[in-house]
Chains A and B, each alone.
Chain A
């Protein structure tokens, strides 16, 4: 069966510091991968998605970036965090041709 991992689970970082969040999927090949952000009191906002290694599409202009160095690894990064980057970051995967997505446990990021 497929599983999705995210780490760290929680993170507190000062403004201006760098960020690296990692997501890995097990038990499947060539998944579509997604990064979402959930801000307090809001729904989920799609940040990036990827249909293959090195292929990244950005949905929202911001100071975040994403990379996919391996088939089942998806990384969310920032060079300098802003207060507004605080939130709950969720990684998800899906298979090509299937509509449902499966989510990881999330990372709670607090920028102070």
Chain B
């Protein structure tokens, strides 16, 4: 079956540091890949996505590249801010959109000023 593995954290960084959150996946076929962000007490917000190999998703300074050869979709940001503190979820969809997403367990990111 499908699965997503990501570093759980918490990951603690100083403001302006470089961020990488690793995500690898197992899936049949050619899944679409997503990063979602969850701020405290809120629902999930779609951060970025990629639908095919070598696609790069980007939003709000975050980037992730769909690497089929390594089955990875690592999230990066060049300079983090305190406001980036949240839980980040990697997810995939290989069911044509109707069957729901498969999520990783989430990575808690803490940015210190």
CB-CB under 8 A for A43 and B104, given A49-B98, A49-B99: yes
> Counting CB contacts under 8 A, is A90 at the interface?
yes
Contact B32 A90 (CB under 8 A): no
Minimum C-beta distance from A103 to chain B (A):
4
Which residues of chain A in 76-98 are interfacial with respect to chain B, using CB atoms and an 8 Å cutoff? 90, 92, 94-98
Contact B98 A100 (CB under 8 A): no
Q: Give Cα A45–Cα B91 distance, bound, in whole angstroms.
A: 12
CB-CB under 8 A for A106 and B43, given A34-B100, A99-B32: yes
Q: Give Cα A95–Cα B4 distance, bound, in whole angstroms.
A: 23
Contact B101 A101 (CB under 8 A): yes
**Total A-B pairs in contact (CB under 8 Å)?**
61
Chain B minimum-CB-distance residue to A95: B97
Residues in A with CB closer than 8 Å to B34 are 99-100
Q: Give Cα A105–Cα B45 distance, bound, in whole angstroms.
A: 10
Which of A36, A100, A103 is packed against the most chain B CB atoms within 10 Å?
Answer: A100
Contact B44 A99 (CB under 8 A): no
Q: Give Cα A49–Cα B46 distance, bound, in whole angstroms.
A: 19
Residues in A with CB closer than 8 Å to B77 are none
Q: Give Cα A101–Cα B43 distance, bound, in whole angstroms.
A: 12
Which of A43, A51, A97, A98 is packed against the most chain B CB atoms within 10 Å?
Answer: A43
Q: Give Cα A106–Cα B38 distance, bound, in whole angstroms.
A: 11
Chain B minimum-CB-distance residue to A34: B100
Residues in B with CB closer than 8 Å to A99 are 32, 34, 49, 51, 93, 97
- Chain B residues within 8 Å of A, Cβ to Cβ: 4, 32, 34, 36, 41-46, 49, 51, 89, 93, 96-106
